[in-house]
Structure 1
Amino acid sequence: MYKTRKRLIFLSVNAAILILFIVISTMLMPERIKEYSFSLLISIPSVIFVLLLIGGDTVRSALDKRLRRKIFEKGETRYLTRFINRLRFCYSLDDLYKVFADVLEKEAGCSVLFVDREKNYILYNSPDRLASSRSVRDTLERNFPLSWPEGSYLIDDSLGIVSHAKDARGFFFVCGTQHLFIFCRYTKLFDADAFRQFYEEFSRFQSRSRTIASLTEISDLTKEWQLLADTQRSFLPQKMPSIRKLKLAAYYKPLINVSGDYYSVLQIDKSKTLLLLGDVSGKGLAAALIMGLVVNTLKIIDDKEDLESVIREIDRAIKNMKLQDKYTVLFLGLIDTDKMTMRYINASMSDPLVLSRAPDGYKVKALASNASLVGIIDLGDITVEERRLYRGDMILIASDGLSEIMDSNGIQFGSSDVFQETLRTSADKMPEEFINDIVRLIPEYNGGARLHDDVTMMAVKVG
Structure 2
Amino acid sequence: MLKQRKRYFEIVNYIVSAIMFMLFSYFLLPRVISPQNTGYFYLLEFALLMFFLICSSSITKAASAKMENRVLKREETRYLQLFIDSLRFCYTLEDFYEIIETILEEKADCSVLYMDSEKEYVLYNSPNRLTNDKEVLRKLMNNFPATWPEGFDFVGDKLGITSQYKKARGFVISHEKFHFFVLCRYTRLFDTGIYNQLVEEFYRFRKRTQTIASLSEIAGLSKEWEQLAETQRLFLPEVMPDTKRLKIAAYFRPLVNVSGDYYTALPIDEHKTLLMLGDVSGKGLPAALIMGLVMNTVKIIEDKEDLIGIVRAIDKAIKGMKLQDKYTVLFISVVDTQKMTIRYVNASMSDPLIVTRAPDGYTIKPLSSNCGVVGIIDIDDIRIDEQRLFRDDLILFASDGVSEVMNDEGIELGDTDLYTDTIKNSAAKQPQEFIDDIVHLIFDYKGNNKLHDDITMMVTKVVS
The reply to whether residue 236 of structure 1 matches residue 244 of structure 2 is: no
The superposition leaves residues 92-139 of structure 1 with CA deviations (integer Å, 9 ceiling, x where unpaired) of 222212222221112111111112111121111122232122222222
Paired with 1:412 and 1:27, the residues of 2 have a C-alpha distance of 83
Question: Which secondary structure does the structure 2 equivalent of 1:428 belong to?
Answer: coil
Paired with 2:44 and 2:398, the residues of 1 have a C-alpha distance of 52
2:433 counterpart residue number: 433
Cα distance change of structure 1 residues 444 and 185 upon mapping to structure 2, 3 Å threshold: same
Question: Which secondary structure does the structure 2 equivalent of 1:192 belong to?
Answer: coil
Whether the aligned pair in 2 keeps the contact of 1:172 and 1:182 (CA below 8 Å) is: yes
Tell me how far 1:66 sits from its aligned partner: 2.7
**Range moving further from structure 2, 411-420 or 309-318:** 411-420
Paired with 1:248 and 1:47, the residues of 2 have a C-alpha distance of 48
Paired with 2:369 and 2:82, the residues of 1 have a C-alpha distance of 34
2:89 counterpart residue number: 89
The reply to whether residue 287 of structure 1 matches residue 287 of structure 2 is: yes
Paired with 2:174 and 2:48, the residues of 1 have a C-alpha distance of 53
Paired with 2:44 and 2:366, the residues of 1 have a C-alpha distance of 48
Cα distance change of structure 1 residues 195 and 43 upon mapping to structure 2, 3 Å threshold: same
Tell me how far 1:339 sits from its aligned partner: 2.6
The superposition leaves residues 235-276 of structure 1 with CA deviations (integer Å, 9 ceiling, x where unpaired) of 111221222222211100111112110111222223221111
The reply to whether residue 447 of structure 1 matches residue 447 of structure 2 is: yes
The reply to whether residue 420 of structure 1 matches residue 420 of structure 2 is: yes
2:121 counterpart residue number: 121
Cα distance change of structure 1 residues 154 and 329 upon mapping to structure 2, 3 Å threshold: same
2:101 counterpart residue number: 101
The superposition leaves residues 208-254 of structure 1 with CA deviations (integer Å, 9 ceiling, x where unpaired) of 00111111122222222222222211111122122222221110011
The reply to whether residue 318 of structure 1 matches residue 340 of structure 2 is: no
Paired with 2:110 and 2:372, the residues of 1 have a C-alpha distance of 41
Cα distance change of structure 1 residues 161 and 448 upon mapping to structure 2, 3 Å threshold: same
Question: Which secondary structure does the structure 1 equivalent of 2:193 belong to?
Answer: helix
Cα distance change of structure 1 residues 16 and 134 upon mapping to structure 2, 3 Å threshold: same
Letter in 2 for 1:389: L
The reply to whether residue 213 of structure 1 matches residue 208 of structure 2 is: no
Letter in 2 for 1:260: G
Whether the aligned pair in 1 keeps the contact of 2:21 and 2:48 (CA below 8 Å) is: no
Letter in 2 for 1:355: V
Paired with 1:313 and 1:58, the residues of 2 have a C-alpha distance of 34
Paired with 2:338 and 2:52, the residues of 1 have a C-alpha distance of 22
2:224 counterpart residue number: 224
Letter in 2 for 1:298: V
The reply to whether residue 72 of structure 1 matches residue 72 of structure 2 is: yes
Tell me how far 1:24 sits from its aligned partner: 8.4
Paired with 1:33 and 1:419, the residues of 2 have a C-alpha distance of 81
Whether the aligned pair in 2 keeps the contact of 1:315 and 1:375 (CA below 8 Å) is: yes
Letter in 1 for 2:280: V
Question: Which secondary structure does the structure 2 equivalent of 1:371 belong to?
Answer: coil
Cα distance change of structure 1 residues 394 and 377 upon mapping to structure 2, 3 Å threshold: same
2:352 counterpart residue number: 352
Whether the aligned pair in 1 keeps the contact of 2:341 and 2:388 (CA below 8 Å) is: yes
Residues 169-318 of structure 1 aligned to structure 2 (within 5 Å): 169-318=169-318
Whether the aligned pair in 1 keeps the contact of 2:21 and 2:52 (CA below 8 Å) is: no
Paired with 2:129 and 2:192, the residues of 1 have a C-alpha distance of 27
**Range moving further from structure 2, 181-190 or 416-425:** 416-425
Paired with 1:381 and 1:117, the residues of 2 have a C-alpha distance of 47
Cα distance change of structure 1 residues 414 and 206 upon mapping to structure 2, 3 Å threshold: same
Whether the aligned pair in 1 keeps the contact of 2:90 and 2:205 (CA below 8 Å) is: yes
Cα distance change of structure 1 residues 35 and 412 upon mapping to structure 2, 3 Å threshold: farther
Paired with 2:296 and 2:116, the residues of 1 have a C-alpha distance of 25
Paired with 1:392 and 1:27, the residues of 2 have a C-alpha distance of 60
The superposition leaves residues 358-390 of structure 1 with CA deviations (integer Å, 9 ceiling, x where unpaired) of 333333211111111111111111121222222
Letter in 1 for 2:388: R
Whether the aligned pair in 1 keeps the contact of 2:408 and 2:449 (CA below 8 Å) is: no
**Range moving further from structure 2, 44-53 or 296-305:** 44-53
Whether the aligned pair in 1 keeps the contact of 2:406 and 2:449 (CA below 8 Å) is: no
Letter in 2 for 1:213: A
**Range moving further from structure 2, 286-295 or 142-151:** 142-151
Q: Where in structure 1 are there 5+ consecutive unaligned residues?
A: none
TM-score normalised to structure 1 length: 0.90
Whether the aligned pair in 2 keeps the contact of 1:84 and 1:198 (CA below 8 Å) is: yes
Tell me how far 1:414 sits from its aligned partner: 2.4
1:404 counterpart residue number: 404
Paired with 2:361 and 2:14, the residues of 1 have a C-alpha distance of 53
Whether the aligned pair in 2 keeps the contact of 1:351 and 1:369 (CA below 8 Å) is: no
Cα distance change of structure 1 residues 49 and 306 upon mapping to structure 2, 3 Å threshold: farther
Paired with 1:271 and 1:50, the residues of 2 have a C-alpha distance of 30
Tell me how far 1:296 sits from its aligned partner: 0.7
Paired with 1:91 and 1:197, the residues of 2 have a C-alpha distance of 18
2:362 counterpart residue number: 362
Q: Where in structure 2 are there 5+ consecutive unaligned residues?
A: none
1:5 counterpart residue number: 5
Paired with 2:457 and 2:286, the residues of 1 have a C-alpha distance of 22
Question: Which secondary structure does the structure 2 equivalent of 1:333 belong to?
Answer: strand
Tell me how far 1:193 sits from its aligned partner: 1.6
Identity of paired residues, percent? 52
Letter in 1 for 2:403: S
Aligned length: 462
Tell me how far 1:35 sits from its aligned partner: 9.7
Cα distance change of structure 1 residues 423 and 61 upon mapping to structure 2, 3 Å threshold: farther
**Range moving further from structure 2, 121-130 or 63-72:** 63-72
Question: Which secondary structure does the structure 1 equivalent of 2:358 belong to?
Answer: coil
Across the aligned residues of Structure 1 and Structure 2, the Cα RMSD in angstroms comes to 3.0
Cα distance change of structure 1 residues 281 and 186 upon mapping to structure 2, 3 Å threshold: same
Paired with 2:11 and 2:358, the residues of 1 have a C-alpha distance of 52
**Range moving further from structure 2, 273-282 or 385-394:** 385-394
Tell me how far 1:175 sits from its aligned partner: 0.5
**Range moving further from structure 2, 275-284 or 79-88:** 79-88
